[in-house]
Homo-oligomer: A and B are copies of this chain.
Amino acid sequence: MHKVATDDRGAIGTFFKACEAALGMDRVQALAQDRMAYTDQMGFDATAHEPAGAVAPRSVEELRQVVRLANAHEVALWPVSRGKNFGYGGAAPVLAGSVVVDLSGLKRIHEIDVKRGFCVVEPGVGFYDLYDELARLGHPLWMSVPGNAWGSVAGNALERGKGPQPYGDHGAQICGLEVMLADGSLVRTGTGAMAGSKTWHLSRDTYGPAWDQMFCQSNFGIVTRLGLWLMPAPEATLSMDYALAEPGDLARGVDAIYPLRQRGLIDHDPAWVSYVGIASFVGPRRTWYEGEGLLPEEVGAQIRRQLGIGWWNAQLNFYGHEEVIRAKARVVADALEKALGPRPEPRLWRQGDDFGASHAGIPSTRDMMMIDWYGGRGGHLGFSPILPADGALAQAQFERTRARFEAAGIDYYGAFSVGGRAIISINEILYDRDDVAMAKSVPVLMNRLIEDAAREGYAEYRTHIDAMDRVAATLDYGAREGGPGAMARLNALLKDAIDPNGILAPGKQGIWPARYREGGSARVLRP
């Protein structure tokens, strides 16, 4: 099923030895326990994506040596920033037998420009690292953070991670990259292409084609430095909570919000989160229910009553000058009154108040509690299609998805993050890895969800390493006689040009270099 790297000639062993000579013994991790450390911590079958080991350069120069050795020995690399891409595969490579390049040692914050509102980070810089630095400066800029914020700022942005803050489309905040190409050379994108550029991280305008987004969800290079726009600290914030009582209310909730978001009256993409998601941050399922099977509806109702939440729940936040956000909140509450009910009591936060609100972009790992929902060694798997901003379509997608979850015996947990024109539907499949039935049903569920979405014309914005080929295959425009689609052909053409030896992250997002396209081998050799 899964491709694995071929190593008939013991090339990986030679490669590791050369890396040890170049970087030092302690930078190469190729023992069995090392390999396990870089597998998908939430996968059912660790061997499916088991790497051959890892190397951990401490500098761009050391990374260059790793890349050159990989070319020389034709070794597949799988670069990770901090390896916390959980729900989508963690640190593990698509191609078993690849060598993880662990960039967590490159953790320099090159710059924080308070006036111009951006930071420049290396891949190893975590959300907590950046937060600490911003806190030291008195929070002149606010971060946007994903639900579980233990990962890399750069890595999350490059995977197009999301947060609920105004700058919450993290990939869209990227401005100016330094990238190591497969030949070990560095390129700087945007106006950074000029030595001594003064606007590298200030402007996405540039001269000629722009390449920042070529390196997102990509195996075209290894990003060594990333410029990211940050939000100027607002004078105040204002929050309003809305809840919808019934599962069938999602359509109404979406249609009420997206036009306001499109008009700029709401400052971020609010998410309608299903109640199981919120409950899973409070405690494991056994808190409310000790039985088997799906959570009974009456227990669900009890949970909602107890937590004071609806079936769907959204927080609307406003950021900025108090007079302006009060005006926005009034207009929004008026517009929502008919669809969502009376104006909730708004919560105001002002500069000088305690800096503790979740919508302020404070890193947290609280959301990871969700993996304990079923008990045992928990895990979660993300299914994340993009939908049009349209209530009826969102409702239908929810119902289709929920039915699939329930047929698989899994409690439904989904969030619909509502933008002005599109919705990202993030569904978390929660499970107990020690549950044999779940280990069987979850992969089947995932496949059904991908098929369902493709039938409706919805692509995923991101997926687990297990599903990367499958999701790539849904991009079928221009496919000829069952062959790859036009986008896959373009990606392959560019991949072969930019990485002729196919050393960079083979199979990432379904993009395989030439050497792996005609069927991979069936074996991994351990060094």
A residues touching B (Cβ–Cβ < 8 Å)? Answer: 115-118, 160, 169, 171-172, 181, 185-189, 191-199, 202-218, 220, 229, 232, 234, 259, 262-265, 267, 320-321, 323-324, 326-328, 330-331, 386-390, 393, 419-422, 424, 454, 456-463, 471-472, 474-479, 485-487, 489-491, 493-494, 496-498, 509-511
Contact of A207 among B118, B204, B472 (CB under 8 A): B472
How far is A411 from B458 in the complex, measured between Cα atoms in Å? 55
Minimal Cβ-Cβ distance residue in B for A229: B421
Minimal Cβ-Cβ distance residue in B for A263: B232
With both chains docked as a complex, state the minimum distance between the C-beta of A304 and any C-beta of chain B, in angstroms.
Answer: 31
Contact of A457 among B198, B259, B472, B474 (CB under 8 A): B198
With both chains docked as a complex, state the minimum distance between the C-beta of A183 and any C-beta of chain B, in angstroms.
Answer: 10
Query: Are the C-beta atoms of A216 and B210 separated by less than 8 Å?
Result: yes
Query: Are the C-beta atoms of A457 and B320 separated by less than 8 Å?
Result: no
Query: Are the C-beta atoms of A263 and B509 separated by less than 8 Å?
Result: no
Which B residues lie within 8 Å of A115 (CB)?
259, 390
- Which 5 pairs from chain A and chain B are nearest by CB? A497-B497, A193-B487, A203-B422, A210-B213, A198-B457
Query: Are the C-beta atoms of B476 and A116 separated by less than 8 Å?
Result: no
Which B residues lie within 8 Å of A479 (CB)?
195
Minimal Cβ-Cβ distance residue in B for A201: B421
Given the interface pairs A117-B420, A265-B320, A321-B331, the reply to whether A471 lies near B207 with Cβ below 8 Å is yes
With both chains docked as a complex, state the minimum distance between the C-beta of A170 and any C-beta of chain B, in angstroms.
Answer: 11
Query: Are the C-beta atoms of B327 and A324 separated by less than 8 Å?
Result: yes
Which B residues lie within 8 Å of A265 (CB)?
320-321, 324
Which B residues lie within 8 Å of A460 (CB)?
207
How far is A386 from B320 in the complex, measured between Cα atoms in Å? 28
26 A-B pairs, CB-CB below 8 angstroms? A116-B389, A172-B204, A185-B478, A186-B486, A194-B457, A195-B476, A197-B477, A198-B456, A199-B387, A199-B388, A199-B457, A199-B458, A203-B461, A207-B461, A207-B475, A208-B511, A209-B213, A209-B214, A209-B491, A234-B263, A264-B267, A264-B320, A321-B331, A324-B331, A494-B497, A494-B498
